[in-house]
Structure 1
Amino acid sequence: MLKFVAALLLVLLSAPSNGSERSDNAKTPIDYLPALAGDYFKHDSKSVGRPYHIFVRLPHGYEDNPSKNYPVIYLLDGDSLFPMLAPTHLFLTYDEQIPEAIIVGIAYGGFGDVNKRDIDFHEFSSQESGEPSGPDKFLKFLKHELLPTVSNRYRTDESKRVLVGQSYGGFFVLWSALQDPDLFWARISSNTSFGGERARLFTEASESTNKEGLVAITVGTKDTQSRQGFVKEWSDTWMDSDSAPWTVKKFVMEGGTHAATIAETYRQTLKWIFQRKEPESDSQG
């Protein structure tokens, strides 16, 4: 599987970065994979001090609907999640009536030393020397660099931004929900890994101006007992809190593993996010 994803990334990386939306007269290999086709650009982050590869899947019919704005779904670990979930989203528009969306994969360009997900999502040791932590820098990159860039390039519905993270990415999703509740409309944290930073996810949330955010937290029954216990405690804590700046829903994926259930997680959580009829604090499973 990793070999397939790596090979696919080589194809995706061959797409040019021209500072604007791609045009039909500049065909690249990705244009022959319509479930993934859209755009690519490399972003050198001033906040983090490292580059990111940004892959964008544009909705089917995007060019034919110039007045339509779309929800935007940001995928952490885009190296693996973008080629998996961008086509999945297309199928969900067919079978589950999930609205089309712009899918943005935030990638490192590899699985080796170039991949700094542990620093970006979970490394707080730099705070001991008075420096911003890895997650602090990455959140700043999202808020002040990537989100404005995507908004300027594409027709986005800024009231419908969604952040998706798996494992350590799921940790960052929850941590960022506490730090900046209003930055995303909805968040999906799948099989959250917390390492030694568990307590950071039970601190007081920053003030929210709208109180309309959504947080879906999920865990598989084949994941570790510690992760299952964490998800129960975290969801129970915030469901019972009057100060929670978002509505929380817990999903327990029967037979689900730590990593391989992400497509079904994506399906179930997006159905809740886009099709819920009334505000609720609930759990499933």
Structure 2
Amino acid sequence: MKRLLLIATCLFISLPALAQSKILYEEFPSSKLDETRRLKIQLPRDYDENTEKVYPIIIVLDANYLFEPVAGNVDYFSYWEDMPESIVVGIMQGDSRYDDGAYDDVNFMPEEKGADFFEFIGLELLPYIDSTYRTAQFTIAVGHDFTANFINYYLFKEPPLFNGYINLSPDLAPMMAERIPQRIPSIEKKTFYYLATGTDDIPDLRQITLELDTALKPLKNDTFDYYFDDFEGATHYSLVARAIPSALEKMFSVYRPISKQEFTEKLLKMDTPISDYLTEKYKVIEDLFGLTNPIRVNDYIATATAAEKKKQYESLRTIASMAQKQYPDTVLGDYYMGLALEGLGEPKKAMRTYQGAFDKEEVDFITIDLMLEKADKIKEDFGY
């Protein structure tokens, strides 16, 4: 008995550990910098088990203090499926951040060590991460004040190196506040841009951030997703803890499961087929983030419920058919197929569909008893 208890205790202790994200430290020799740089890397919880899965990359500058808040929020948001699991790569900089971000006094673009650091990230670090880990073709850069300015230089590559830019109280180089709004309209690929300040931020940085916000707001369009936060009472340093989750939530809003608000304000107001909304949502996820995710049960239920309420029975049948193919061992698709057939005036087929799912796995509120009740009700009403 004691031995069984010991084994059970060991399993109980080890299981949570298996579910944790993995932190790695690497020494990266850079020929561009002519020195070795220390990296801190967080791999997703299921990285070792799910060997076919690929992950977006989040590059964090100032990783000496920014890595933990970014990595912690990424792990938390991805755990609840509010963003895709991602590989977080932190570049430890410390006092070298000023040399890394050095720019010319005339054209205010990277020079000397700053130019080397620019090439280190683009020509050495990202190719190394892509070749060493399973990555999706979606990358975000995160920086604070001096390093927030630096990540903007990648906007001027053709095409820009990153898909997303998280600028935390940027200490912008001269002319940068004018150059960014001039550059944005000529960028063809989808770009996500987040900017944050606080009411108690360093006055000069706050002022230039507000001016940049004013210039960027009119530019928001189908290819440029722009987000801005001005946190009440936040200082130059405290705003970081509030801005990072806000930035991730905004940038990955399309990735999240369909919410109650989305259900009410979008699905229930649609005149076009709701099944199209479901397929388009996951097509956008694939196009933006390079991820071919299975459609969530939650999203099947949300769109099917909306289609039923809107009496879009053909659309409901399409959703049900998709669910049957993706989750064939569950009652999910059969339940909504039965509802669709009832709505389309085919009660006998609906009854048989309900009855045929008696040995399948239950999902959410859809139980075997519910399925059999639906079948019995049709039998009673139509005398089958």
Shorter chain as normaliser: what TM range?
0.7 to 0.9
**Long gaps (5+) in structure 2:** 1-16, 256-280, 285-384
* C-alpha displacement of 1:201: 3.7
Q: In 2, are the aligned partners of 1:179 and 1:206 still within 8 Å (CA)?
A: no
Residues 78 and 106 in structure 1, CA contact (< 8 A), matched pair in contact too: yes
Unaligned runs of 5+ in 1: 1-31, 280-285
Determine the structure 2 residue equivalent to 1:77: 62
| Cα RMSD for the two superposed structures | 3.2
Please state how far the C-alpha of 1:209 moved relative to its aligned partner.
5.9
Q: Which has the higher contact order (CA 8 A, sep 6+)?
A: 1
1:50 to 35, 40, 43: 35
Q: CA deviation at 1:208?
A: 5.7
CA pair 42-92 structure 1, distance change in 2 beyond 3 A? same
C-alpha contact 1:126 1:133 (8 A) present in aligned 2: no
Tell me what 1:269 maps to. 247
Q: 1:245 to 1:92 in 2, by over 3 A?
A: closer
- Specify which of 162, 167, 172 is matched with residue 189 of structure 1: 167
- Contact 1:122–1:134 (Cα < 8 Å) also in 2: yes
Q: Please state how far the C-alpha of 1:229 moved relative to its aligned partner.
A: 1.7
Once the two structures are superposed, residues 101-135 of structure 1 have per-residue CA deviations (whole angstroms, 9 ceiling, x without a partner) of 10100113xx4xxx31012124435989xx93433
Question: Taking structure 1 as reference, are residues 94 and 138 closer, same or farther at Cα in structure 2, changes over 3 Å only?
Answer: same
User: Quick one: distance in 1 between partners of 2:174 and 2:107?
Assistant: 16
Letter in 1 for 2:130: S
Taking structure 1 as the reference length, what is the TM-score of the superposition? 0.73
CA contact (8 A) 1:178 1:201 kept: no
Equivalent in the alignment of 2:189: 211
Q: Report the TM-score, using the length of structure 2 for normalisation.
A: 0.55
Greater fraction helix = 2
Higher alpha-carbon Rg: 2
Does the 8 Å contact 1:56/1:103 carry over to 2? Answer: yes
- 1:186 Cα shift? 0.5
Give the Cα separation in 1 of the matches to 2:149 and 2:224.
16
Q: In 2, are the aligned partners of 1:190 and 1:218 still within 8 Å (CA)?
A: yes
Q: Is the contact between residue 73 and residue 103 of structure 1 (CA under 8 Å) also seen in structure 2?
A: yes
* Alignment deviations for residues 65-96 of structure 1 (CA, whole Å, 9 cap, x no partner): 11100111110011111133212321222457
Tell me the matched-pair count.
239
Tell whether 2:133 aligns with 1:150: no
| Identical amino acids, percent of aligned pairs | 23
* Amino acid of the structure 1 residue aligned with 2:178: F
2-side partners of 1:82 and 1:34: how far apart?
A: 20
Distance 1:207 1:138, change over 3 A: farther
Q: Which residue in 1 is equivalent to 2:318?
A: none
